[in-house]
Structure 1
Amino acid sequence: MSAAPPPRVTVVGDVGLDVRCRLTAALAPGDDTPARITAHPGGAGGNTAAWLADLGVRVELIARVGDDEAGRTAATELGARGVGCRFVVDPQHPTCRVVVLLGPDGDRTMVSDRGANAALHPDDIRLTDPGAPGHLHLSGYVLLDEASRPAGRAALARAAAAGWSTSVDPQTAAGLSAVGADTFLEWVRGVDLLLPNDTELAALGGPAAALAVVRAVAVTHGRQGATWFAGTEQRRAVVERVDDTDSTGGGDAFNAGFLAAWLDGAEPGAALAAGVRAGTRVAGAAGARPVLDGPAG
């Protein structure tokens, strides 16, 4: 008898447009700074969903977009990748746009307008076939924004009621500090997997504080790989080699690589290595998603 296929993954998170500005000189506040500027599909939820589809995972994305060309392009591009786009078109707010300032070393600073993503509503969260095995992955941006927070909490509650496994990426240390570690950890109590980076985990009080409310933590260390914590168990995966072109979306890709392996039954060390490989692919190329062969639509 063949093994059961991995569960479908439902991602709840942002989708939008990234405007990338690769600075060719030091930023000159109040003056001109030369840069190479390109536009790419973006949003943490969209990025993770795209990587999951690239890795052969059945995936759908719940998000909200504007009634504009950016929203239509987002749906077309993700659909071409095999992502099931369950988008609500917002009649008032535009599709999310993010300006990404890239330094010479590949590190980035982002200036974000969540647009329609901030209007995500609990009524938008409808799980496909909740009676079947599934996994919910939630972007922390949904929880950290007061406007979309009820939708994020509804997503976690409905996944738990359906018996699905769950994961959350906190996404931003600044956002965690603004709401408070104890508050955020209470929102994610009972989640199976937390996926922070080093600064986000520090903002939450470290591994012990996180493990008091979630079952496991997979923390990324940028160019130094990633570590798994669950109870007293620890595993580590290192980066073999990376060419830093653009680190934007590295964490989103790590999430997808880890989840694709973990949900298919891989042990934590192997899942960490899969996540690191996916994150490394992002850092070595321009854009936050896998290269899409042919036109998006």
Structure 2
Amino acid sequence: MTTPPDILCIGSVLWDMIGRSEAKMHQGADMPGRITQLPGGVALNIAMALARFGLTPGLLSAVGRDVEGDALIHACEMRGLITDYIYRSDDLPTDKYMAVEGANGLIAAIADAHSLEAAGDKILRPFSDGSLPVPYKGAVALDGNLTLDLLGEMAQSPLLEAADLRVAPASPGKALRLTPFILARRGTLYVNLEEAGLLCQTAFATSAEAAQGLLDRGAVRAVVTHGGAPATVGSAEGLITQTPPEVHVARITGAGDTFMAAHISAELKGRDADTALHDALEAAALYVSGETRI
């Protein structure tokens, strides 16, 4: 490897198995549609989107030394991602994610990231073997598929004390794993309305209320989305709220990751806060409409 990464993406790198139907669905529904297998996982989705925006991301994760893992590493490299830092396990299988989507949104999903959790701090070896500089001073996108213990360690770690941390929970079920970053007053949190409510132990009606609630709880900076409703960026400088463009929804899985990547990319390129949020909402809308290639 000769090219240093523009940003590190730490977290889940796996295969997405997505079933999509054009019809509205409910629990127990059996509908015609399409089933696709694509590279996925929050960290990988963010990295692939960052690459589309012209950046060179490096991945820190765990991938098995199995057929699925070899194919996944190859798929990542074909997309311009740096895979040299990935921990390849001899005894852990490559992780998977399965989701069913209808015209009315996500119906159900199961994330099997047990290998990433089992690998633990082995995924951070590039910081101790000299592969990456310490303390790391660049941008880092981190997802909540890591264990709470490891996330708590990273929130306090001198390895990342100088990094521009961007953190997402991966799913509402893992929202509380972001608590260490609130307590440590570190990083920018990227959450949806439900995840913000879980972190604050309350319910919010709007993204602006949620962003302010996270700031009041101790977050340094929060970016809160709410589907097609207005999104808000909150910091000590105040709140910025914008409404996403209206589009036909063709897909959902990966939309939040695309939004986060577009927002990070815009800010790394020097866009101001208003423009960065606008660019991110536009990119997410294009993705949801199906106009952006994966």
* CA deviation after TM superposition for structure 1 residue 166, in Å: 0.7
Match of 1:145 in 2: none
Match of 1:215 in 2: 220
Instruction: Calculate the aligned-residue CA RMSD, in Å.
Output: 2.5
* CA deviation after TM superposition for structure 1 residue 227, in Å: 0.9
Match of 2:152 in 1: 153
SS state of the match for residue 39, structure 2? strand
In structure 1, distance between residues paired with 2:158 and 2:251: 34
SS state of the match for residue 107, structure 1? strand
In structure 2, distance between residues paired with 1:232 and 1:159: 27
* CA deviation after TM superposition for structure 1 residue 41, in Å: 1.4
Q: What code does the residue aligned with 1:89 have?
A: R
In structure 1, distance between residues paired with 2:234 and 2:167: 15
Deviates more, 1:154-163 or 1:111-120: 154-163
Q: What code does the residue aligned with 1:137 have?
A: A
Alpha carbons 1:20, 1:100 under 8 Å: kept: yes
2:281 pairs with 272, 276, 283, which one?
276
Deviates more, 1:124-133 or 1:85-94: 124-133
In structure 1, distance between residues paired with 2:55 and 2:166: 15
In structure 1, distance between residues paired with 2:27 and 2:187: 44
Q: What code does the residue aligned with 2:252 have?
A: S
Match of 1:114 in 2: 113
Report how many aligned residue pairs link the two structures: 272
In structure 1, distance between residues paired with 2:225 and 2:51: 21
Alpha carbons 1:194, 1:217 under 8 Å: kept: yes
Match of 1:295 in 2: none
2:270 pairs with 258, 265, 272, which one?
265
* CA deviation after TM superposition for structure 1 residue 187, in Å: 4.3
Match of 1:202 in 2: 197
Higher relative contact order (CA 8 A, sep 6+): 1
* CA deviation after TM superposition for structure 1 residue 267, in Å: 1.6
Change (3 A) 1:10 1:156: farther
1:247 pairs with 242, 246, 252, which one?
252
Match of 1:17 in 2: 15
Q: Deviations over 1:152-187 (max 9, x none)?
A: 3344444665511111112322333xxxx5x74234
Q: Deviations over 1:257-276 (max 9, x none)?
A: 00011122222111111211
* CA deviation after TM superposition for structure 1 residue 225, in Å: 4.2
In structure 1, distance between residues paired with 2:199 and 2:154: 21
Alpha carbons 1:106, 1:245 under 8 Å: kept: no
Match of 2:166 in 1: 167
Q: What code does the residue aligned with 2:241 have?
A: R
* CA deviation after TM superposition for structure 1 residue 34, in Å: 4.1
Match of 1:130 in 2: 134
* CA deviation after TM superposition for structure 1 residue 89, in Å: 1.4
2:38 pairs with 37, 40, 43, which one?
40
